[in-house]
Structures are given as C-alpha cells and as structure tokens.
Amino acid sequence: MDTENGVEVVWNEVRFSENKNRKKYMARISAIFDSLQSIDHPNIVGFHKYWFDQPDKSDKPRVNFITEYMSSGSMKHFLKRTRVSKKKMAIDSWRRWCRQVLWALSYFHSSSPPIIHGNLTCDSMFIQHNGLLKIASAAPDVIHQHVKTVQPGQLLKNAHFVAPEEVTRTAVDERRSKSDIYSFGMCALEIAALEIQGNGDSGTPVTKENIENTIESLENEEQKDFIRACLRPDPEQRPTARQLLFHPVMFEVPSLKLLAAHAVVNDPNISPEDAEVYCNLSPDLVIAEMRHEGQEPTQLRVQDVTSAENIGKFVEDVRVGIYPLTAYAPPAPPPISQVRAASPDTIESVHSDTPEPCEREGRKVVTMMCEVKSDPALDASLTLVLFLRLDDKTNRQLSCRLAPDDSGSLLTEELVRHGLVNEMNRDELTKLIDGRLRALRTSQPPTPVGVS
C-alpha cells in the first residue's frame, strides 16, 4: 500500500546474477526505466519508481521498482474462466483487445531508441472491469539476460511465445521490436481460441503443429491471415505494430463515428455530463432532413438509426481508451525523461571539470549522512559517500573519489549545479562534508556523521 497516495501498488525486486559489467547494466536499466516513468498511456501499466540497492554487501545488488496494481486479473485467468462456458471468443472482443495491445506496442516501438517489451504473454496482459486492457511495463533486455527473474519451470511453459530469432540471439545482439510482434501474434491466437492446442500450462511444449491446428480451428479468414502475418519465421517479413492496426480485421467502427466520438471527448467545452446528454437523445428527435423539389422533405430520426442505441456507451469507451484513434494519428513516443541521480552502489564522480546544464532539484533533503571509505582496489584512495533522504521519502546515495583539494563548498556547489541537491540544503551539506573532511585530515576515526 502506498500510504502517501492511498493506493495499492506492486513492489518488484530482482537480483543481479553476476557482478561483471554491473555498472554498464545498471546504466542500461536506468535508461529504460527513466523513460517508463514518463509514460502515461491508457494501455500500459503505470511505472512509478525504481532504485538499486545492496542490503547485504556480501550478496549481489538488486533493482527494485514500483508499478501500478492491477486488481482485475490477467488475460490468462480470464481465458481459463471463459473456456468453461464458451468454445470461442467473440471476434468483436478479440478485435478490441488486440487493437489496444497494438496501440501500446506501437507507442513503445516509436520511442527513440525503441523500447522492446520482451515478455509479452497473456500473463502480462490485464483486463479492467470496463473492458480496458493494459500490458505490463516493459523490462530492459539486460534484465532478461543478467537478472534472475524466471523459474526453470516457466521457461517451458511460455517457450512458444518466444520468437525464433530470440532462441539463437547472443548477448551482444540487440533485441528487436519484431520479436514483440511474434509474441503478440501468439497472444492473439490464444485469445481467439481460448487456448492453444498442446496446453502449454501443463509443461508440455507447444509444437508448430499445435499452433497451425489452432489457427485452422478459427472461422474468420481475415483473423487467420492476421495471426499468420505476426508469426512469420522471418522477422523482416512481419508487419510492424502500426501496420497491423491497418489490417482489415482490425476495422470495427466506421471512421466518421470514431472521429466524432473523439471530437466530443477531447472538446474542453463539453463535460462528461454534457456528452451524456448529447448521447441520450429522444427517439423522435430529427437528426437529418433531406429536401426534394415539389415533395415533402424526408426526415431521419434517432429511432431510425440502429447504431444510435448504444452511442452513450461507445463515447464512454472512447473516453477510457478502448477505441484509440489509431488510423489517423501515430502514437506519441515517450517524452524525454528528467535527469535523475546516480543509483546506489554506482561509483561515479559527482563533479567534473566542465559544468553541465541540469534541472534544479526541487525536493529538500530531510536527513543526510556522510562517511569516507577506503578502497584497497583503487590504490587505497578515499571515496566520499553521501546518504540523503528527500522530503518525498526517496533515498539517494552519491559517491565520488576524493581529491586532495576537495572541500565541502566545492563538492556541494557541483551537487547543486547538477540538480542532485536542493539549493536550500547547500549550507547544511557544506558544513557536514567539511566536518567529515576535517576529522579525516586530523586522523580521527572514520565514523559516520549524520544530520537530521
């Protein structure tokens, strides 16, 4: 429970499997997670915060991240419940869910550099009570390679979601967006048929024959063509997420109706209450009139339009994101993330010879500690480590190699300039660092010093 905002969240912890090139991997994870923090998309699970830590110095470090809590359950669980009473999924529901997943993938893949989900299965899709579908936030490729996240039994269970090129890909090869398309195609097949013949849940591997038999069991030819396009063995032959949004099977709503609904929803002068009034019109209301020379005009009333019956629900579905405007506007890539502090356990200098422009830190430090460590691996050089707790309960750890002429004012000046410390904490932090350096240079024991 997030006691600050009063909402439930999911706390994820994954531990690095090796220490080799750890700092490089942390930088890759930070680059992706910084982008995910800036994403606000109706079909992507919210990503709130992340940090690195190492509670036990004898153990390997870990990455912690907080995501939105999805209470309605995964697509996998929904399919299991549906199999009890139905043989096939209604194609309209299948189409709406596929469109929402493609909209989210197109959003990911359009960023620079592209964000690859890398773990798209029916277990990572979540259905809300109103029909809105969200996919779990993407995890950096480095997590799949160097962080222990999967139990051995799960590898066989979800092996059929992995694109063929991923099986032979080496650690130096970059994961490509077309691998997400293959995984999506397998999800689309499983949703359409409720399960893939061969039952991957039991631990039995799903074969190519099982997949082909499941596709053939579908009745809609356009649906078959759509899924086969996603599952092409050659990644270059697979369409992109945006191209799939233009596949004939994806078009459900007339373009003019969809544009009109989005115009109503996005009009700042029309409140949701006003929109509800507009949508619930009297059956006798004349909505169009055709005039003829020498004849009585022909009038079209609300009751004459069959699609007007559920127009109110349709506008509400557009409002919550079930019907994105995919055919007219490409998804906006994730905005550029803000500069953030170095993650804990990353030994990097906090000051440089040339000043760099940076956003100012608006949060105040409520607790600060300072200590000096000796590193025998670095010719017994000294490292200054700061432990800061900000007013939003975020913990920040900073460290740098100490130079002979370093002082509290010099170090604090660069921390403020680089946006790592609030200007209002300058004097207090300078006094804390100077006190620690003074104690060090007079050969006092290197005990931690703290200020709250």
Q: Where are the domains of the chain?
A: 9-250, 255-320, 365-451
Q: Is the pLDDT of residue 416 over 80?
A: yes
Chain centroid, CA 444 distance in Å: 49
Q: What is the pLDDT of residues 99-154, one digit of tens each?
A: 899 988 988 888 777 888 888 888 889 988 777 889 887 665 556 554 444 444 45
Helix 75-83 with 177-193: angle, nearest 10 deg: 20
186: pLDDT confidence band, cut at 50, 70 and 90?
very high
Task: Report the top-level CATH class of 365-451.
Answer: alpha beta
Spell out the long-range contacts of 376-382 with Cβ–Cβ below 8 A and sequence spacing 24 or more: 382/440
Helix 311-320 with 255-266: angle, nearest 10 deg: 70
- From CA 370, how far away is CA 390, in angstroms rounded? 15
Three-state secondary-structure class, residue 406: coil
Residue with tokens 């999924």: 89
Q: Is the pLDDT of residue 276 over 50?
A: yes
Residue 405, pLDDT score? 81
* Strand runs labelled E in 87-163: 125-127, 133-135, 147-148
C-alpha distance across the termini of the chain, in Å = 26
CB atoms inside a 10 Å sphere around CB 419: 18
Residue 155, pLDDT score? 52
Q: Is the pLDDT of residue 250 over 80?
A: yes
Is the dihedral angle over the CA atoms 71, 77, 81, 87 positive or is it negative?
A: positive
Lowest mean pLDDT among 59-63, 171-175, 245-249: 171-175
H-state helical runs in 267-310: 272-279
Residue 87, pLDDT score? 64
CA dist 153 to 42, 75, 123, 157, 405, Å? 32, 20, 15, 7, 56
Percent over 70 (pLDDT), the chain: 72
Q: Taking Cα atoms as reference points, which of 380, 397, 381 lies closest to residue 389?
A: 397
Residue 101, pLDDT score? 92
Cβ-contact 343, 50 below 8 angstroms: no
Rg of the chain taking only CA atoms, in angstroms: 28
Residue 352, pLDDT score? 46
Residue with tokens 């209604």: 90
Chain centroid, CA 154 distance in Å: 22
Higher per-residue pLDDT: 196 or 282: 196
- HSE-up of 182 (CA within 13 Å, CB side)? 26
Q: Is the pLDDT of residue 341 over 50?
A: no
CB atoms inside a 10 Å sphere around CB 303: 14
Three-state secondary-structure class, residue 5: coil
Residue 345, pLDDT score? 45
Q: Is the pLDDT of residue 356 over 50?
A: no
Residue 350, pLDDT score? 45
Residue 11, pLDDT score? 82
Q: Taking Cα atoms as reference points, which of 355, 365, 258 lies closest to residue 315?
A: 258
Lowest mean pLDDT among 83-92, 126-135, 149-158, 322-331: 149-158
Residue 239, pLDDT score? 92
What's the DSSP call for residue 138? P
> Are both 9-250 and 365-451 of the same fold?
no
Q: What is the mean pLDDT of the chain?
A: 76
309: pLDDT confidence band, cut at 50, 70 and 90?
low
Q: Is 9-250 a CATH 1.10.510.10 domain?
A: yes
Lowest mean pLDDT among 68-82, 212-226, 333-347: 333-347
Q: What kind and span of H or E run contains 108?
A: helix 91-109
Q: Taking Cα atoms as reference points, which of 218, 209, 165, 168 lies closest to residue 191?
A: 218
- From CA 410, how far away is CA 408, in angstroms rounded? 6
Q: What is the pLDDT of residues 369-402, one digit of tens each?
A: 888 776 555 455 778 888 888 887 777 888 888 8
Cβ-contact 244, 226 below 8 angstroms: yes
342: pLDDT confidence band, cut at 50, 70 and 90?
very low
- From CA 338, how far away is CA 320, in angstroms rounded? 27
Residue 113, pLDDT score? 76
User: How would you label 188-216 residue by residue, b for 16+ Cβ within 10 Å and e otherwise?
Assistant: bbbbbbbbbbbebeeeeebeeebbeebbe
Q: Is the pLDDT of residue 315 over 50?
A: yes
Residue 275, pLDDT score? 63
For residue 405, what are the contacts with CB-CB under 8 A and spacing of at least 6? Answer: none
224: pLDDT confidence band, cut at 50, 70 and 90?
very high
Cβ-contact 312, 19 below 8 angstroms: no
Q: Is the pLDDT of residue 331 over 90?
A: no
Lowest mean pLDDT among 31-35, 263-267, 306-310, 444-448: 444-448
Mean pLDDT calculated for residue range 76-105 = 85
The pTM of this model reads 0.59
Higher per-residue pLDDT: 372 or 95: 95
Residue with tokens 């480095």: 142
**How many helices (H) and strands (E) in the chain?**
15, 12
- From CA 139, how far away is CA 136, in angstroms rounded? 9
Q: Is the pLDDT of residue 281 over 60?
A: yes
For residue 19, what are the contacts with CB-CB under 8 A and spacing of at least 6? Answer: 60
Residue 361, pLDDT score? 80
Three-state secondary-structure class, residue 181: helix
